[in-house]
Amino acid sequence: MKANPAGVLTGAHFLDGDQACCEGALAAGADFAAGYPITPSTEVVERFAARVPTVGGLFIQLEDELASSIAILGAAWAGKKVFTVTSGPGFSLMMEHIGLAAMTETPCVFVDVQRGGPSTGLPTLPGQADMMQARWGSHGDYAIIALCPNSPQECFDLMIDAFNLAEQYRVPVLFMMDECVGHMTEKVVIPSADAIEIYPRRFTSLPPAEYKPFKPSPDGVPEMVKAGDGYRFHITGLTHDEQGYPAMTWRAQEKLVRRLVEKVRKNADKIVRAEECDLEDAEVVVLAYGITSRVALRALQMARAEDIRAGLLRPIVVWPFPEKRLRELAERVKAFVVVEMNYGQMVYEVERCAGGKTKTVLVEHGGGTVHDPEQVLTVIREAAR
């Protein structure tokens, strides 16, 4: 289905990543957001609070991130397209409800504009150290999808994809920005509504007597209903059966949690997405995402100028990870160079995919600013030797 034009600000704009993210949400049809102010993410909801009453829907600022992250789930079960936005400490507070969203298969988008951590860390400066928290931060086994934009244009484009993926797979989708991408201002082109494809909510067509809230469709994803439509359904964070009723047995756990994990795992080939640059003849593959990919690209150009055969692989969907592609590359390249604004997170995924067939080198950075391309170039040179 096509986007509702009411939320689509068609035209060429000069926006920062936070503002573009908000416009992406509006274009995707988001009509409910809750949030709590936190730097450097607040501009997303400030813009949403200003815009949404003029296009239909509402924003509410709540008392903390715990409230915000569950209010959106309540709104989703009343039929809304929902998201919340946070950073650093707020992201930590939201973990429990990422788990509840995964367990109850509630479509929703969590935006994390990453800043330096741990704890209060560097509120106004960038980091990329929440990447593993995004995947594993809530307790127990579950699966999520995470996207990582590297420009304001992508903040717009990928927010639409984030909502579509949340609806298609009924998982929380994590939108992993960083302070640089959030606060950099660039040209953002917003297409017309009829050029924006929207994945609609998977509402059931079954009557209440035949409907089971957690009976999966062939792709592993159940159909949804909303409160007030006469289904009298039950939703719980407890392990539950297809009816949605608590089921405290290992068999129920096995059936439910395996499905929660597999609906992403088994559809990973359809979900993963990465940008490739100069990989055809590459001996050294640089892997970077978010703002860091733009620094890595500069280093790549410098390496090519020195006739080093280096290429770039940029995961756009970071979870699930582009595992298959990396395994192919591991068969024929000299090294993977992972550039990330942390002391080693996605590098573990790369190393795992390398499987000992090629070496993996990390170019680490504690955050607060981006890497120096020279620093990356030095490592590429070394790796190419």
Q: Determine which residue in the list 110, 233, 319, 336 makes contact with other proteins, applying CB under 8 A.
A: 233
CA-to-CA distance for 224 and 236, rounded, in angstroms?
A: 14
Q: Determine which residue in the list 120, 192, 217, 236 makes contact with other proteins, applying CB under 8 A.
A: 236
Q: What is the CA radius of gyration of the chain?
A: 21
Of residues 112-131, which lie at the interface with other proteins (CB under 8 A)?
A: none
When asked if residue 169 is in the footprint of other proteins (CB under 8 A), the reply is no
- The per-residue b/e assignment along 58-68, b for 16 or more CB within 10 angstroms, e otherwise, is ebeebeebbbb
355: left (phi > 0), else alpha (psi -120 to 50), else beta?
Answer: left
Q: How far is the CB of 229 from other proteins (least distance, A)?
A: 7
Q: Which token pair is 226? A: 């909303």
CA-to-CA distance for 376 and 328, rounded, in angstroms?
A: 23
The size of the interface with other proteins (CB under 8 A), counted in residues, is: 52
When asked if residue 66 is in the footprint of other proteins (CB under 8 A), the reply is yes
The contact pattern for other proteins, residues 84-103, with x = CB under 8 A and - = no contact, is ------------xx--x---
Listed ranges 77-85, 168-176, 315-323, 339-347: which one lies at the site for other proteins (CB under 8 A): 77-85
When asked if residue 75 is in the footprint of other proteins (CB under 8 A), the reply is yes
The DSSP output letter for 372 is P
Nearer to other proteins, 218 or 230 (CB): 230
Q: How far is the CB of 232 from other proteins (least distance, A)?
A: 5
When asked if residue 57 is in the footprint of other proteins (CB under 8 A), the reply is yes
Tell me the HSE value of 197 on the side-chain side, using a 13 A CA sphere. 6
CA-to-CA distance for 350 and 218, rounded, in angstroms?
A: 31
When asked if residue 82 is in the footprint of other proteins (CB under 8 A), the reply is yes
When asked if residue 13 is in the footprint of other proteins (CB under 8 A), the reply is no
Under 8 Å between Cβ of 162 and 26: no
Residue with tokens 């992993």: 176
Burial of 385 (0-12, 13-18, 19+ CB in 10 A): exposed
When asked if residue 205 is in the footprint of other proteins (CB under 8 A), the reply is no
The DSSP output letter for 73 is H
Q: Determine which residue in the list 19, 39, 40, 77 makes contact with other proteins, applying CB under 8 A.
A: 77
Q: Note if the bond before 40 is cis, omega within 30 degrees.
A: yes
Q: Which token pair is 313? A: 């692989």
Q: How far is the CB of 176 from other proteins (least distance, A)?
A: 23
Residue with tokens 């573009």: 20
Q: How far is the CB of 30 from other proteins (least distance, A)?
A: 9
When asked if residue 53 is in the footprint of other proteins (CB under 8 A), the reply is yes
When asked if residue 60 is in the footprint of other proteins (CB under 8 A), the reply is yes
When asked if residue 230 is in the footprint of other proteins (CB under 8 A), the reply is yes
Q: How far is the CB of 140 from other proteins (least distance, A)?
A: 13
Under 8 Å between Cβ of 81 and 29: yes
Which spans of this chain sit near other proteins (rule: CB under 8 A)?
4, 6-7, 29, 31-32, 34, 53-58, 60, 62-64, 66-68, 70-82, 96-97, 100, 201, 226-238, 245-246
